[in-house]
């Protein structure tokens, strides 16, 4: 897949001047764990970008648990990390690519296509015996320029309007029990947006933790019309992004993220909730 790079690919290029390696490790419910893990050890030269401090805006009444960050604030964080217009960015995590995919998607949203997700993640890198470090890189800011692509994202009103329209497919990326409303360990209400189908984001990886290739991703979505407008959501707009990446690898060209996702949908009292399979 064009947006996934292997451990050996990164090992061979990790010291190239136009490359920024971004450590995106983060644990829900333990907001300091990712940075603490980074400070203990990381891929040499990597910078740390925090899901909630850098890649999300503060939580409000609406917008979900991880609202899209303010564009100006995000540009500032990316510039501080040394990401400029010609920079190649490789993001990694230890959460199956979910957090790294959030950065990949945000960069794409800002018009920066030269971004990749590291296959397998940090634990696999360490297991292979590849170099690690606790030293923090001296950052040289770069002039990141955003060219926002508003067509890549939708809000609640658009989802409400489009969810039953012909030619629109709504995908819920959460685990099946959460989608069906049998359990809800995080958000205030269980269930899913009416009309949504379920494609668990982690099924984009094989049993050994590596990402499935483009053909395998296409098999996951073989029942979807190629010309459909596909809107992807999850609990808060994070784990939907690996599905966006997978859908694009599978050849779908009109894929959008409902950034606020389920936690935004249920913040509006008038929105319907569905249960079971569809």
Q: How many CB atoms lie within 10 A of CB 95?
A: 23
- The pLDDT value recorded for residue 68 is 97
- The pLDDT value recorded for residue 1 is 82
**What is the domain range of residue 196?**
150-265
Q: How many residues does the chain have?
A: 278
Residue with tokens 């899209």: 68
Which of 75, 95, 127 represents a domain boundary (last residue)?
A: 127
Give per-residue burial for 175-184: e unless 16+ CB within 10 Å, then b: beebbbeeeb
Q: Are residues 118 and 156 in the same domain?
A: no
Q: Are residues 34 and 122 in the same domain?
A: yes
Enumerate residue ranges in the chain where pLDDT < 70. none
Q: Report the relative pairing of strands 255-258 and 197-198 from DSSP bridges.
A: unpaired
- The pLDDT value recorded for residue 139 is 87
- The pLDDT value recorded for residue 278 is 86
- The pLDDT value recorded for residue 188 is 95
Residues with active-site annotation: 234
Quick: pLDDT tens for 27-69: 988 999 999 999 999 999 999 999 999 999 999 999 999 999 9
- The pLDDT value recorded for residue 233 is 98
Quick: pLDDT tens for 198-227: 999 999 999 999 999 999 999 999 999 999
Which of 127, 162, 196 represents a domain boundary (last residue)?
A: 127
Provide the token pair at 194: 């009416």
Q: Among 154, 105, 109, which Cα is nearest to 261's?
A: 154
The residues pairing with 198 across neighbouring beta strands, listed in sequence order, are 172
- The pLDDT value recorded for residue 137 is 84
Q: Are residues 8 and 123 in the same domain?
A: yes
Q: Are residues 106 and 177 in the same domain?
A: no
- The pLDDT value recorded for residue 10 is 98
Q: Are residues 105 and 190 in the same domain?
A: no
Residue 98 lies inside a defined structural domain of this protein: yes
Q: Are residues 160 and 243 in the same domain?
A: yes
Q: Are residues 259 and 174 in the same domain?
A: yes
- Assessment of whether the complete model's pTM goes beyond 0.75: yes
Residue 141 lies inside a defined structural domain of this protein: no
Residue 212 lies inside a defined structural domain of this protein: yes
Q: Are residues 122 and 161 in the same domain?
A: no
Q: Are residues 162 and 258 in the same domain?
A: yes
Q: Are residues 110 and 27 in the same domain?
A: yes
Q: Are residues 118 and 39 in the same domain?
A: yes
Residue 145 lies inside a defined structural domain of this protein: no
Residue 271 lies inside a defined structural domain of this protein: no
Residue 165 lies inside a defined structural domain of this protein: yes
Residue 273 lies inside a defined structural domain of this protein: no
Structurally, how many domains does the chain consist of? 2
Q: Among 264, 269, 272, 271, which Cα is nearest to 60's?
A: 264
- CATH number, domain of 17, equals 3.40.250.10
- The pLDDT value recorded for residue 276 is 95
Residue 16 lies inside a defined structural domain of this protein: yes
Which of 127, 158, 184 represents a domain boundary (last residue)?
A: 127
């Amino acid at each position: 897949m064009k947006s996934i790079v292997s451990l050996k690919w990164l090992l061979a290029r990790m010291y190239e001047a136009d490359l920024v390696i971004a450590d995106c490790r983060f644990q829900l419910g333990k907001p300091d764990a990712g940075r603490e893990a980074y400070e203990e050890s990381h891929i040499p030269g990597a910078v740390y970008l925090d899901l909630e401090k850098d890649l999300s805006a503060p939580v409000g009444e609406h917008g979900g648990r991880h609202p899209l960050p303010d564009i100006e604030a995000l540009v500032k964080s990316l510039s501080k990390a040394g990401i400029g217009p010609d920079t190649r960015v490789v993001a990694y995590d230890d959460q199956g690519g979910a957090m790294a995919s959030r950065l990949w998607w945000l960069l794409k949203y800002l018009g920066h296509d030269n971004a990749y997700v590291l296959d397998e993640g940090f634990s696999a890198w360490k297991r292979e015996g590849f170099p690690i470090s606790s030293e923090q890189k001296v950052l040289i800011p770069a002039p990141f320029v955003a060219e926002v692509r508003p067509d890549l994202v939708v809000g609640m009103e658009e989802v409400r309007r489009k969810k039953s329209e012909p030619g629109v497919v709504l995908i819920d990326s959460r685990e099946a029990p959460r989608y069906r409303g049998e359990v809800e360990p995080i958000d205030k209400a269980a269930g899913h947006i009416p009309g949504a189908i379920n494609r668990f984001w982690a099924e984009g990886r094989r049993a050994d933790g590596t990402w499935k290739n483009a053909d395998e991703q296409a098999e996951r979505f073989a029942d979807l019309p190629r010309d459909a407008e596909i809107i992807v959501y999850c609990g808060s707009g994070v784990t939907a992004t690996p599905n966006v990446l997978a859908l694009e690898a599978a050849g779908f060209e009109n894929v959008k993220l409902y950034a606020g996702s389920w936690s935004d949908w249920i913040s509006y009292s008038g929105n319907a909730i569905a249960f079971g399979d569809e």
